[in-house]
Structure 1
């Protein structure tokens, strides 16, 4: 669910969001993956946190720049110590 209109505008913001997911700080259960995707209705890009059934647990809008340049960070994680 994307419950607000906050947009992740930079790779630093994306990294912070991914770290929150990686460390469990958001308290989400059954997280099995993170993906960049686009909304089918309007093509707006977002980062999706998925559960074991590939259902959306949480989403955040991202800028086009983050969508285009954050793919490796989403794919491979932040690679920094927590």
Structure 2
């Protein structure tokens, strides 16, 4: 389930999306992880929210710049607010 008009175009937007997933703000259940991926049909890049069976729960398109420069952010997780 990817919204065609909803593209993450900055690292700040990617971080906010990851924080929303992590904090349960998107109402998703059974979230096991996130990954940057490539659509096999057309080569477009996206961020995938996956369940424990590696099934796509939610996806958002990302720009090529976000895909290339957001890998560590996805791998290491968002910083979020410091308490």
TM over 0.5: yes
4+ residue runs over 3 A deviation: none
Q: Deviations over 1:17-64 (max 9, x none)?
A: 001001000110100000000000000000000001000000000000
SS state of the match for residue 3, structure 1?
Answer: strand
TM-score calculated relative to the size of structure 1: 0.95
More strand by share: 2
TM-score calculated relative to the size of structure 2: 0.93
Q: RMSD in angstroms over aligned alpha carbons?
A: 1.1
Number of equivalences? 82
Distance (Å, rounded) in 2 between the aligned partners of 1:33 and 1:39: 18
Task: Name stretches of at least 5 consecutive residues in structure 2 with no aligned partner.
Answer: none
